[in-house]
């Protein structure tokens, strides 16, 4: 699922590159794929609180529903 891959990429940016994703721009959405761009800030422990670290996005319980307001995603994360 595209949302799973996007969130996994966001975790990679945080863990491996010490970048904090902010705004996300969807460039295109075709089928199950997304072309996305993350606008990131460099991790600064004085600015960015770090209470809990997510280890991984899980497929278990992943659900995307269409609502009157748009899409709603339910996502479980390993901590």
pLDDT at 29: 76
Question: Per-residue pLDDT for 1 more than 80?
Answer: no
* Confidence at 67, pLDDT banded by 50, 70, 90: very high
pLDDT at 25: 86
Domains of the chain: 2-78 (3.55.10.10)
d(CA 19, CA 12): 9
pLDDT at 78: 92
Q: Quick: pLDDT tens for 6-51.
A: 899 999 999 999 999 988 888 887 777 778 899 999 988 888 877 7
Q: pTM of the entire structure?
A: 0.76
DSSP state of 79: -
d(CA 59, CA 1): 9
Tokens of 42: 């460099």
- Do residues 63 and 74 lie in contact, with contact meaning Cβ atoms separated by under 8 Å? yes
- Do residues 11 and 56 lie in contact, with contact meaning Cβ atoms separated by under 8 Å? yes
């Amino acid at each position: 699922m595209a949302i799973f891959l996007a969130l996994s990429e966001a975790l990679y940016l945080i863990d491996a590159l010490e970048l904090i994703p902010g705004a996300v721009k969807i460039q295109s959405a075709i089928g199950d794929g997304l072309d996305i761009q993350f606008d990131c800030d460099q991790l600064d422990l004085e600015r960015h609180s770090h209470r809990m670290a997510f280890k991984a996005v899980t497929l278990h319980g992943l659900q995307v529903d269409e609502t009157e307001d748009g899409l709603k995603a339910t996502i479980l994360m390993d901590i």
